[in-house]
A = this chain, B = another copy of it.
Amino acid sequence: MSYTYEYPRVALTVDGVVFGLDGGELKVLLIERGIAPFKGQWALPGGFVHENETLEAAVARELEEEAGLHGVFLEQLYTFGAVRRDPRERIVSVAYYALVNLADHTTRAATDAADARWFPAARPPGLAFDHAEILTMALQRLRGKLRYEPVGFELLPEKFTLTQLQQLYESVLGVPLDKRNFRKKVLGFDLLIPLEETFRDGPHRPAQLFRFDPARYEQLKQEGFHFEL
């Protein structure tokens, strides 16, 4: 089967930068390439856009196929269109970034037949194509998003402690934060619901568990509220 057009067409792909948080460290999901070019090197999961799916659906499908991930938070990052970014032919790629809660998703990705692994996002191995550039941009974007929108919760389990939340911010933004000021600010937003449960983890006082209240956030946003950490 072949497809013919009156004018040449550039090929269109999507790539996904999937972030996860593992023990306070930000990780990125990479796939080992099985074919040339860059055979054996690590790359972002991705692939061609089908004719009847949206861009976001294409990324979601690729993440499912290549890493067994589904239902993750996805947002468009940037479209990369350098002429020689793929050595074979002209390929333009729409990059998305994804945030997953590693606790829920780690198993399937780690045990998938295709070699998919989590690497420290700040020190990835050598990457195929222009994927290092894509990753760098995704990291910058994540930092920005984290500051100005409450997306960090996507990286945490549904129930989390304030310490976990703070560590997430410290780890992604790369700056230490004051415990009291952090808690004061975060709780002041009125976006976290304290649960009845506590989290026990070692020989010390257990921590209060919270969950994020997305409905409340939508409501506040309507009222002109502007999240900023």
A interface residues, Cβ below 8 angstroms from B: 1-12, 48-49, 51-56, 76, 78-79, 81-83, 90, 92, 94
Q: Which of A49, A78, A81, A90 has the most CB of B within 10 A?
A: A81
- How many copies the complex holds: the figure is 2
Contacts of A76 on B, CB cut-off 8 Å? Answer: 78-79
Please give the distance in Å from A110's CB to the nearest CB on chain B.
31
B4 lies within 8 A of A9 (CB): no
- Contacts A79-B55, A82-B54, A92-B49; A10 near B8 (Cβ below 8 A): no
Interface of A is mostly: loop
> Which residue on chain B has the smallest CB distance to residue A89?
B51
Contacts of A2 on B, CB cut-off 8 Å? Answer: 4-6
Contacts of A11 on B, CB cut-off 8 Å? Answer: 5, 9
A49 lies within 8 A of B3 (CB): no
Contacts of A9 on B, CB cut-off 8 Å? Answer: 3, 5, 9-12
Report how far A27 CA is from B53 CA in the complex, Å: 34
A49 lies within 8 A of B10 (CB): yes
Contacts of A12 on B, CB cut-off 8 Å? Answer: 9-10, 12, 92
A-B contact pairs, 24 of them (CB 8 A): A1-B6, A2-B6, A3-B4, A3-B6, A3-B7, A4-B5, A5-B9, A7-B48, A8-B51, A9-B9, A9-B11, A10-B12, A10-B49, A10-B51, A12-B12, A49-B81, A51-B90, A52-B83, A53-B83, A54-B81, A55-B79, A56-B81, A76-B79, A92-B94
